[in-house]
Amino acid sequence: MSGSAVAPRGGRTRTACDLCRHRRIGCDRAKPACETCSIARVPCTFTPLAQQQKSVREQLAESRARVRQLEEALRAERENRLGRTPPQETTSFLETPRQQPNAWPAANSLLESHSLDAALSAFRWHLAFCGPCAAPFTSTPSFYSTVYDRTGFVLNIDDFLNQLAYSFKLQYPAHPTKGIVPKWPSKSLIQRSVEYYENNRLYSIFPVVDFETTPIHLDPKVLNHPENPTNPASYACLVALTAMITRIRGHEAAFVDADPDAYVQAVLTLLPELVMDNTNLMSLETLVWLTLYIAPLGQPQLAGMILAMAVRILYNMGGNRHRLSHETLEQSRRSQHVRALFWLCYTIDKEMAFRECKTPLINDADCDLDIPVTYVSISSDSSFFPRPLSSQELLFPSDLRLAIIKSKIHRLLYSDDGIAQSEARRIQYIRELDEELSDFMSNFPVICQPEGVLNRTVPDFMLHDLSLRGVNIHLEYYHCLAKIHGASNAGGTSSPESWPQLPSSVELCYESARSTLLYISRVRHLVGPETFWIYAQFILSSVISLFWHLITTVPHAPTFEADLQIIEEIADMFTRMNGVDQEGSCFPPFYITEAFIQRLVFLARQSLYKSVSQ
């Protein structure tokens, strides 16, 4: 070894090398280097415990330099093993907190959206909640046995995805695999993003930052760097806003060179500091920006964790309650902004819980659910079509009234109390919720009525004018319909021989699946890498529901070929989108989804052949 275990005069023998001692792990003291140093490919050294010749300041400086060297070597080795590009600059955690933010665990870091591993993880997660009758796969074990009985083939999701991953690597050996290196945006980019947010009145859709309410955001000192000790939350909020703007408008010349994922990764390193002050408005705004950014990336676990932090701050600030009017104008404006943040968190929370079949973070009983007076009318064209945004009108990414309906669906039908209700009471709830959802839908503008969209009386060029919000409302409507009537069988699978007391509910579940897929095929121009995970569960749950209908009704269903053609069209849509880019790669989620749907098409065909041959 470059150094041995030396017993200093009057001291004791060192039992661990410098690296093992720093990492607080056992050292095997092997020669010429211990196992830890061998893996890190660094010299294995033992520094005496007592250093009589040097001052404490000198010892500390040397220790910092040595630890920094060892950390860089370990980081480089780890990145090399993972096939990633190591960061260009590294900083020791021994430096002051303002110079290096508290590290956030790697498991909670942002995943590269074009990574195959990230795509497989997200796909598995979404698939777990896409079982027939709006129930997760985990609660429908009969699904797999029925597939085998009706088709003669085993559908093993894990084996299928593992084989798919192997095929992908063979087909796209040059597919890039990289980590996301934290990076702070330039001051000029932050300023351009803030100007874009303000000039285009994006507060109407994303009411996260009200610069009139919190002018400290625009303090020139804040824009420099998070080293500024006055308010790191304000800087983090501006960086998160910059990431959001540059992601959704990255094709514009002003933002073309931006790296939004890197900016979000940088903000994630500040999370421990942000949550320390649980009544800080700017911390709340930052967390909301992060949730809005991460949720559509197919990483719901991380988004849900950050949303939980935001909801905690929101409750501490009293945002769940509508304040009385005994306030100054400035206080009233701030209260309205906090309430807008509440409704934004409310809609995200209800949608995420709705998709996961879990209890929401926000309990309606603890909240005042009065809709903001400036909220858009449901019959307004601006709910569905792009219009110049107004600072006097709140839109939000989705409809607040639909979020309230989702909350009722969970509480009355899918919560523990709802499931425990008698069958008669559950049927009553299903009918009442169906009527409420129908009333909500009946207020859509005439050209946005679902019937007109599906029977093609509404021309394609009108659908091309739909906003992302308008598409989301339609798809969420179909999803709610499936959830309501899927509860008629208590979340389990059913077949024509075992339909519940509401056979119309079973048909409505499959009709909502057909409608969703037909709708997706008509708005496929809005399905891309940036929006895929927003629509993934709608698509997957509808494909599986319609597939289930096919294999359990053959040969009784006269619509078998038409229904199968709908699924095939969705598979073909992903085949067309799954193009190879100039680097010889593709978007992994498209590749996985296409292969999975094609597999279901094959199994559906086999069920027909088997039924005919018997």
Q: What is the pLDDT of residues 416-442, one digit of tens each?
A: 999 999 989 999 999 999 999 999 999
**C-alpha span between 292 and 304 (Å, rounded):** 10
- Assess contact for 129 and 136: CB atoms under 8 A: yes
User: String of b and e for 65-100 (b: at least 16 CB within 10 Å)?
Assistant: ebbbebbbbbeeeebeeeeeebeeeeebeeeeeeeb
- The residue with greater pLDDT, 279 or 32, is 279
Least confidently predicted of 83-87, 516-520, 570-574? 83-87
Predicted local confidence at residue 98, as pLDDT: 34
Predicted local confidence at residue 487, as pLDDT: 86
Predicted local confidence at residue 338, as pLDDT: 94
Predicted local confidence at residue 325, as pLDDT: 61
What would the mean pLDDT of 576-596 be, rounded to a whole number? 81
- Assess contact for 353 and 325: CB atoms under 8 A: no
**C-alpha span between 503 and 489 (Å, rounded):** 10
Q: How many CA atoms lie within 13 A of 344 on its CB side?
A: 28
- The residue with greater pLDDT, 19 or 224, is 19
What would the mean pLDDT of 330-358 be, rounded to a whole number? 92
Residue given tokens 């009386």 in the structure block: 457
- The residue with greater pLDDT, 138 or 175, is 175
Predicted local confidence at residue 80, as pLDDT: 46
Which tokens hold the place of 39?
Answer: 């893996």
Predicted local confidence at residue 504, as pLDDT: 78
Instruction: Answer whether residue 129 shows pLDDT above 70.
Output: yes
**C-alpha span between 589 and 532 (Å, rounded):** 8
Percent of the chain with pLDDT over 70: 76
What would the mean pLDDT of 99-103 be, rounded to a whole number? 37
Q: Mean pLDDT, the chain, as a whole number?
A: 81
- Assess contact for 372 and 461: CB atoms under 8 A: no
Return the top range by mean pLDDT from 55-69, 227-241, 304-318, 552-566: 304-318
**C-alpha span between 495 and 530 (Å, rounded):** 37
Predicted local confidence at residue 411, as pLDDT: 95
Q: What is the pLDDT of residues 461-481, one digit of tens each?
A: 777 778 889 899 999 999 999
Predicted local confidence at residue 106, as pLDDT: 41
Predicted local confidence at residue 14, as pLDDT: 55
For the chain, the 3-state helix, strand and coil shares in percent, each to the nearest 5, are: 60, 0, 40
Q: Which residues pair with 375 in a beta bridge?
A: 394
Predicted local confidence at residue 581, as pLDDT: 55
Predicted local confidence at residue 68, as pLDDT: 56
Predicted local confidence at residue 226, as pLDDT: 56
- Assess contact for 274 and 266: CB atoms under 8 A: no
**C-alpha span between 471 and 474 (Å, rounded):** 5
Predicted local confidence at residue 600, as pLDDT: 96
- The residue with greater pLDDT, 333 or 583, is 333
- Assess contact for 368 and 424: CB atoms under 8 A: no
Q: Grade residue 227 by pLDDT with cuts at 50, 70 and 90.
A: low
Predicted local confidence at residue 611, as pLDDT: 84
Distance of CA 189 to the CA centre of its chain: 25
Longest dimension (CA), the chain: 93
Q: Grade residue 583 by pLDDT with cuts at 50, 70 and 90.
A: low
Which tokens hold the place of 351?
Answer: 């949608």
Predicted local confidence at residue 375, as pLDDT: 94
Which tokens hold the place of 209?
Answer: 């930052």
Instruction: Answer whether residue 498 shows pLDDT above 50.
Output: no
Omega of the bond prior to 182 within 30 degrees of 0, cis? no
**Dihedral sign for Cα atoms in the order 508, 514, 517, 520:** negative
Least confidently predicted of 18-22, 198-202, 335-339, 493-497? 493-497
Cα angle value 196/198/200 (rounded, 5°)? 65
Percent of the chain with pLDDT over 90: 44
Which tokens hold the place of 116?
Answer: 């195959």
* Summary count for the chain: helices (H), strands (E): 23, 0
Predicted local confidence at residue 520, as pLDDT: 93
What would the mean pLDDT of 247-267 be, rounded to a whole number? 91
- The residue with greater pLDDT, 293 or 25, is 293
- Assess contact for 49 and 9: CB atoms under 8 A: no
Predicted local confidence at residue 584, as pLDDT: 53
What would the mean pLDDT of 186-213 be, rounded to a whole number? 92
What would the mean pLDDT of 298-319 be, rounded to a whole number? 94
